[in-house]
Amino acid sequence: MQRLVSIGVIGLVAMCLSLPLMSFAQPQAQDESKPRLKVGLALSGGGAKGAAHVGVLKVLEENNIPVDFVTGTSIGSFVGGLYALGYSADEIEAILLNTNWDAGFSDSVPREALGYRDKQHRDIYNIPINLGISEGEVRAPSGWLQGQTMSQLVRESVGELPVMDSFDDLAIPFRAVATNLETREAVVLSHGSLGKAMQASMTVPGILNPVEWDGMLLVDGGLANNMPVDVVKAMGADVVIAVDIGSPLLKKDDMDSAVMVLEQLANFLTVGGVERQKALLSEDDVLLIPAVKEFGTTDFSRMPESIPLGRQVAEAQLEHLKEFATDSSDYADYRLAKRQYSKQWTSDATRPVIAVNIRNMSKTSEKLIRETLGLEAGKAISANELNQALDNLYALNKYQRVDAQFINTDQGRVLDVFVIEKPWGPNYLEFGVSWEDNFNFKSSIQFDFSYTITDINRQGAYWRNEVQLGENRLLRSEFYQPIDETDLFYARAQYNFQDRDWPVYDDNFATLNFDKRLHNGELGIGTNYSRQGIIEVGGMYETGEIISRDAANTRFEYDIYGAYLSIGYDTLNSASFPTEGNQAKLHVRVVEERFRENGISGGYEPAFHSEFDWKGALKLGNSAVVGKFSAAYTNTDAEFSSYGSDLGGFLNLSGYFKDSLVGPKKLFGALIYQYDLGRTVLDMTQYPLYLGASIETGNVWQVDQTIDIDELIYAGSLFIGTDTQLGPAALGFGAAETGERAVYLFVGRVF
């Protein structure tokens, strides 16, 4: 990840996270004949290495050294801002070590939080690239990430602070330093939202989207001033304690790859500025350089190792630092006054808000925004409650950012919620890819493309066009129209053209080969009865042909028209390796079918088709138990049905090849065990790695056959797999009691 950040910034590396103490109850120096020197603290940026700042703060507190002003850049703004707010070094340590910093570098909405339709769509379009088309141009975001999750991490740390007229009003006067992306000049942030100032100071350019502030686009302050000694001196500090955790220039022998050269270019941007700041230090000031140069800016798991290094370098200069100390009694008064002063901000969390204002910079109706947020005036709103509400809104998958800030007015406490639409829209391109191989004779790659035109009207209608290429070829066009402002009810029209290979297998070898081509149209109305589910009824028409590619060259043609009912519910946290949630789908069709064989036509026959699928997961510590059940049933007087339900493949009667058993009647069940080997043994934090096994049973039957429990086939599998940003990846082996064996390799394909 460290190298990824270096490349993504092309010379703007991850220097992450910076902020000031009032002399409200000014402690006196031990020598009362002269006033105590005012101490300023300048904390530099350096990403995960910033935990060393906490070690320095611990030494200052243990030796009764007060801090009167704080400035910081990047991670220094985060640590400094918390200290200025009134947190102790121990409290900041707990926040740093308990924060999931890796999550801050992902804005992906968890699958379980998405709406039902968005879940099904993301399972196919797994490539995390944001591209849009606007005014005939292809556009992309100005950052790989939009900073949504990072802003919430900061909000959880600082709490529900209101917008401030001046950061001088904190327990310790504070300044954060950011960089104006347009001019590359340092911008000193002295008022406004403390959390937003922190985030602006630690916004890695090219990775995180710039923060808008008073008409400027702000990014990581390390580009302009990574150790703001000049800023803290300008605030009034008599002496400065400066902590430098920046990356030094690499030596010749270290630059042995293109990545290292890019990292050296990134260092050029910060080292020169830090040297200029060091030149401002006098012999009375203290420069501390913790030995953290071997740590990466994104090595967040190593934060506990950095804290002792900060302590070590401070203790090495303790004699100099003690010149700024007070006696124990004065320092106790100082700390008490600091804590009490900070309570005027932290106690705001218990005050109810008198209004929730929506600053809607999107085409979404305000009614839908308010309903999704679920925040009401007249109640106190905690940081966790606000984050959850913003999560729900962001999960609508319509926005670049959703954010909020509290404002104290003469009338009371007000919450402003900002809803910002994606500037690279309103039309979007999405891509998916998957690969499957069974190490025998069947290997397939599937490519998926989607183009969606959104916000066609005030209700939020969209028109989506999809193309799938590979073993199964599909062209789909769907128009979706919400009927009301909250999208509770909708109407939908869809056309499909599908062309797929339909082999018939015997002993895992294709003995017959068919092509199935069809045109299908649906017109329905439905309800999104919850975020997790839909109910839809409508009419459908389908015409198609099944052509034998063997010598007989048999051709079956069919026409179907009738009505359908679809019910769906989905709360799974992963489509392939879930540990929590349930997914259930029911599709019923009552139709009239007509068949033609080699040009000879028959009459229409009534038919009833139904298919039900369920998957559920239960988490048990580091393990999960997953259950699957599916059934299909067809009732018709005809001798043949165009409707076929597939069975066979990984965790779908393992041992058989994918879709090798096809019939209009089906019964299947499976019990799957997953153990999280990655997090428990291999110390993997970003993605799980599951070791699993399954027991399965099922079979298919034809129209004229009766479902017979005695004919069920039993199978099982062993596998290892993971969920990634590109979808699932798995390697498995399956065997059936009938002697079929298969090895499965999947990348990106949901199973």
Q: Which residues are catalytic?
A: 74, 220
Select from 581, 583, 677 the least CA-distant residue to 623: 677
Does residue 326 contact residue 29 with C-beta atoms inside 8 Å?
A: yes
Helices (H), 473-523: none
Query: Cα–Cα distance between 281 and 744 in angstroms, integer?
Result: 64
- The HSE-up count of residue 77 (CA atoms within 13 Å, CB side) is 35
Structure-block tokens of residue 624: 């999960």
Residue found under tokens 């950052």: 143
Select from 17, 162, 3 the least CA-distant residue to 104: 17
Query: Cα–Cα distance between 282 and 150 in angstroms, integer?
Result: 37
Does residue 501 contact residue 549 with C-beta atoms inside 8 Å?
A: no
SS (H, E, C) 647-666: ECCCCCCCCCCCCCEEECEE
Query: Cα–Cα distance between 383 and 346 in angstroms, integer?
Result: 11
Select from 113, 146, 92 the least CA-distant residue to 570: 113
Which value, in Å, is the radius of gyration of the alpha carbons in the chain?
31
3-state class of 454 per DSSP?
coil
For the beta carbon of residue 635, count every other beta carbon within 10 angstroms: 13
Query: Cα–Cα distance between 392 and 113 in angstroms, integer?
Result: 7
3-state class of 630 per DSSP?
strand
332 phi and psi angles, rounded to 5 deg: -65, -40
Does residue 655 contact residue 718 with C-beta atoms inside 8 Å?
A: no
Query: Cα–Cα distance between 293 and 83 in angstroms, integer?
Result: 24
Query: Cα–Cα distance between 386 and 383 in angstroms, integer?
Result: 5
Query: Cα–Cα distance between 70 and 86 in angstroms, integer?
Result: 12
- The HSE-up count of residue 638 (CA atoms within 13 Å, CB side) is 24
Helices (H), 31-143: 51-62, 75-85, 89-98, 116-124
Query: Cα–Cα distance between 312 and 329 in angstroms, integer?
Result: 26
Select from 207, 219, 115, 135 the least CA-distant residue to 423: 135
Structure-block tokens of residue 132: 């849009």
Residue found under tokens 């026959």: 605
Residue found under tokens 């106690």: 347
Query: Cα–Cα distance between 130 and 399 in angstroms, integer?
Result: 12
277 phi and psi angles, rounded to 5 deg: -70, -35
Residue 665 vs residues 612, 628, 662: alpha-carbon distances, Å: 11, 17, 9
Nearest-5° Cα angle at 171, 208 to 276: 55
Structure-block tokens of residue 400: 């670049």
Residue 540 vs residues 492, 519, 521: alpha-carbon distances, Å: 12, 11, 6
Structure-block tokens of residue 238: 């008599």
Residue found under tokens 């700390």: 335
